[in-house]
Structure 1
Amino acid sequence: MTTDWGHAPTRGRLRPGQSPDTAFFWKGCDEHRLLIQRCAGCGVLRHPPGPACPACHGFDADHVVATGHGTVHSYAVHHYPPVQGFPGPAVIGLVELDEGVRIVSNIVGRDPADLRVGDRVEVFFLDQEEGWSLPQFTVVDRPDVG
């Protein structure tokens, strides 16, 4: 069974909460850009965004545009209870971006039974009819198994 959510605008999902620390991330998603927070002091990337750098404890931050490419680090398949706006089963993945940070998002377009840790993925943005977008990932390549 292939979970095919496609790339067409959807409706019915609840909009994720935003804070002053995450507003830039969600604005980037609306513009179809995956933005990662960077400490302006020491340059460490961090996700999820937060008010202070975990490395140098500085409070000044900017962001970088991620390539949107990464690797499946871990995942879970959610079957029940149903969640508004998510046809099941939903694959919730922990994706390690090539930039070195990890992001939790949906992995779509692959039968959950065929998904593997180590699969290469890339981001796309799932537009909502209500005018906002969510980052999602889809499998693009599987590393050679030796």
Structure 2
Amino acid sequence: MLTPVVDEDGAPFWEYAARGELRIQGCADCGELRFPPRPCCPHCQSFAAEWRLMSGRGRIWSYVLPHPPLLPDYAAQAPYNAVVVELADAPRIRLVGNVVADPDAALDSVDPGRLRIGAGVRVAFTDIDGTAVPRWLLERG
């Protein structure tokens, strides 16, 4: 499995994830959210930052089912999904991940026929090599 590369700007994201919290970096001056994390606000050029707690809810903005797998380590799980999730609390923020049946399930644990653009999802975290990684669960209804 691929593990995230944690840099100085993104370290708080992963620290909050380890606590089961989805937080997004925002500008402490103008209030704009930004992802991926970076030192300077692209809107007002401030270096003042804060981390805002998100609800963890969103919707599938886009998705793909890679055929064949691009990386050999994923061959046993194909076909799996890769989704772009638009956050409910911050529609301009989109995160990439996978929709799974439960936080620790395999990447192929959700029938691809259940995926739809606009489908509601909620975040869940799983441990991959000591790092809490966000994944997405389909909302019911």
**TM-score band (shorter)?**
0.7 to 0.9
Calculate the aligned-residue CA RMSD, in Å: 1.7
1:104 matched to 2:96? The reply is yes
Match of 1:127?
A: 127
1:113 matched to 2:113? The reply is yes
Q: CA deviation at 1:42?
A: 0.6
Q: 1:82 to 1:99 in 2, by over 3 A?
A: same
Structure 1's unaligned 5+ residue stretches are 1-12
- The 5-angstrom pairing of residues 23-102 of structure 1 reads 23-79=11-67, 80-84=69-73, 87-100=77-90, 101-102=93-94
Distance in 2, matches of 1:126 and 1:78, equals 22
Tell me if the contact between 1:82 and 1:88 (Cα under 8 Å) persists in the aligned partners: no
Tell me if the contact between 1:34 and 1:68 (Cα under 8 Å) persists in the aligned partners: yes
AA matched with 1:131: G
Deviates more, 1:98-107 or 1:17-26: 98-107
Distance in 2, matches of 1:112 and 1:119, equals 13
Q: For each residue in 1:90-129, what CA deviation from the matched residue of structure 2 results, as whole angstroms up to 9, or x when unmatched?
A: 211110111222111111233112210010000000123x
Greater RCO, CA 8 A, separation 6+: 1
Percent identical among aligned pairs is 36
Structure 2's unaligned 5+ residue stretches are 102-109
Distance in 1, matches of 2:72 and 2:79, equals 10
**Matched residues, number:** 129
SS of match in other structure, 2:15:
helix
Distance in 2, matches of 1:138 and 1:125, equals 10
Distance in 1, matches of 2:60 and 2:84, equals 6
SS of match in other structure, 1:56:
coil
Q: CA deviation at 1:37?
A: 0.2
